[in-house]
Structure 1
Amino acid sequence: MKARAEFLAARKGRRLNGPLFFIEALDRRDDGAPRYGLTITKKVGNAVVRNRIRRRLREAVRLGAGADMQPGHDYVVVARRELIGVPFETLAAELSQRIQRGRTKRDPQRPDGRTQQGRSGT
């Protein structure tokens, strides 16, 4: 993802919080390839630090987390400062775990394709 509008649209989706980053995931309602974008603000550090974080996140997606992403979804990873000091294996595992936790199943009975979420019982 590169366009600002795509990043802003992803904010309307689910938010998956974690200690190193959070992920905003949006179901685009199509069967296209999953897309992802990275956001690293100036609060995290200078350009050298931000670029290093960006490279580490891209590699983590390439090596494993990309396979966990659902078709037809957009993912925006917003990095936190703590990410820079974490071993790469921990980063990759956390990213995969966070994406897997956010997986949803589309309900063919609902016109918008979302899952039925509500309470059942008395």
Structure 2
Amino acid sequence: MRSARSHVVVHLALLPEAPEGPRVGFVVSKKVGNSVVRHRVTRRLREIIRPRLSLLPSGSTCIVRALPGIDDVPFAQLTEQVDSAVRAAATKLCGARAVR
């Protein structure tokens, strides 16, 4: 399932034979900025996601993709965007699982 906000896109999937806990990966392309900027964005996203791991279904894989302009967003606003996108993707995923 996919959920997008103005500066982040969250992809969430349940994979067969996945480990018990959720896995999270980050995609920060060169369009976001140079190496220093990309690493700073990755560190910010990691700190935002860490307390939200409990929101992710067990055995899920989550990819957080940063969009250009994310480095200019204040931390509080970025936290709201990531939180909203993770909740929406998790809700879609759980709803899709219930239908199958």
Query: What's the TM-score once normalised by structure 1's chain length?
Result: 0.70
Partner residue, 2:30 = 42
SS of aligned partner of 1:105: helix
Q: If you compute each CA radius of gyration, which structure gives the higher value, 1 or 2?
A: 1
* CA-based RMSD: 2.0
Aligned residues: 97
Distance between the aligned counterparts of 1:84 and 1:66, measured in 2? Answer: 23
Partner residue, 1:73 = 60
CA contact (8 A) 1:22 1:79 kept: yes
- Report 1 or 2 for greater relative contact order, CA contacts < 8 Å, sequence distance ≥ 6: 2
Which aligned pairs between 1:55-74 and structure 2 lie closer than 5 A? 55-62=43-50, 64-74=51-61
Q: 2:11 aligns with which of 24, 29, 32?
A: 24
Identical counterparts, % of pairs: 28
Give the superposition deviation at 1:66. Answer: 2.1
Runs of 4+ in structure 1 deviating by more than 3 angstroms, as ranges, are none
Partner residue, 1:105 = 94
Give the superposition deviation at 1:115. Answer: 2.6
Give the superposition deviation at 1:76. Answer: 0.5
Query: What's the TM-score once normalised by structure 2's chain length?
Result: 0.84
Q: Which 5+ residue runs of structure 1 have no aligned equivalent?
A: 1-13, 108-113, 118-122
CA contact (8 A) 2:32 2:71 kept: no
